[in-house]
Chains A and B, each alone.
Chain A
Amino acid sequence: MLTLSDRLYRLLLRLYPPSFRRRFGTEMALVFQDRRRQEQRLGGRRGLLALMDANFGRYRHDRAT
């Protein structure tokens, strides 16, 4: 079952270039879900927020270099 954070992450995936999203978007959403479940099992919300974070900044940085 998708949680609010899963849905939010899927929305954020739209920030990636379309070709990258088509190729990896489904996998990234699944990995996010897996990680979110793990973070919930461990009982932390901080980890969840960190997970949503800077992936985008890092990705843009990697693409730019």
Chain B
Amino acid sequence: MSRVSVGRPENPVKKTKPSVEPFLPLTPAAFQILVVLADGERHGYAIMREVTTRTLGGMRLGPGTLYGAISRLLADGLIEEGGEQFDPELGESRRRYYRLTTLGRRVAVAQARHLYELVRLARSKRLIGEEAV
């Protein structure tokens, strides 16, 4: 005769996502780095180059600013290290790659939404757009 267990169903542990609020607002450099990494992992120089290109030269990160921001983003768990690889464009030295974490992506999305709302507000006040003088 087989016994059937009729105990209480397992109570699934509900995992709560960490809030993005403590990380907001991001500094401009940190936000730009997360935006670059949204496309995939990059090494430091590639991040620097892409930020300069995307901002049309408006933001030029030096190594100190770049790695100061990377250090904080790593400590906050918004990015993580990938492996070390060669970049054929840049010669013989191996480069350390960085990538976005799930939390980092959520924080970047939250900051982008916040900026989007600000832009909408500025448009509605005719501060920017075709109506602006």
Contact status of A24 and B71, CB under 8 A, knowing A30-B95, A34-B45, A35-B48: yes
Q: CB of A63 within 8 A of chain B?
A: yes
Residue among B44, B63, B96 with max Cβ neighbours from chain A (10 Å): B63
In the bound complex, residues from chain A placing their C-beta under 8 Å from that of B95 are: 27, 30
Q: In the bound complex, do residue A31 and residue B71 qualify as a contact, i.e. CB atoms below 8 Å apart? A: no
Q: How many residues of B contact A (CB 8 A)?
A: 21
B93 in contact (CB, < 8 A): yes
Are B71 and A53 closer than 8 Å at their CB atoms? Answer: no
CB closest residue in chain A, given B62: A55
For chain B, what secondary structure do more than half of its interface residues adopt (helix, strand, loop), or is it mixed?
Answer: helix
Q: How far is the CA of A7 from the CA of B48 in the complex (A)?
A: 21
Q: Are A20 and B71 in contact (CB under 8 A)?
A: yes
Contact partners of B67 in chain A: CB under 8 A:
20, 24, 27-28, 31
B residues in contact (CB < 8 Å) with A: 27, 44-45, 48-49, 60, 62-72, 90, 93, 95-96
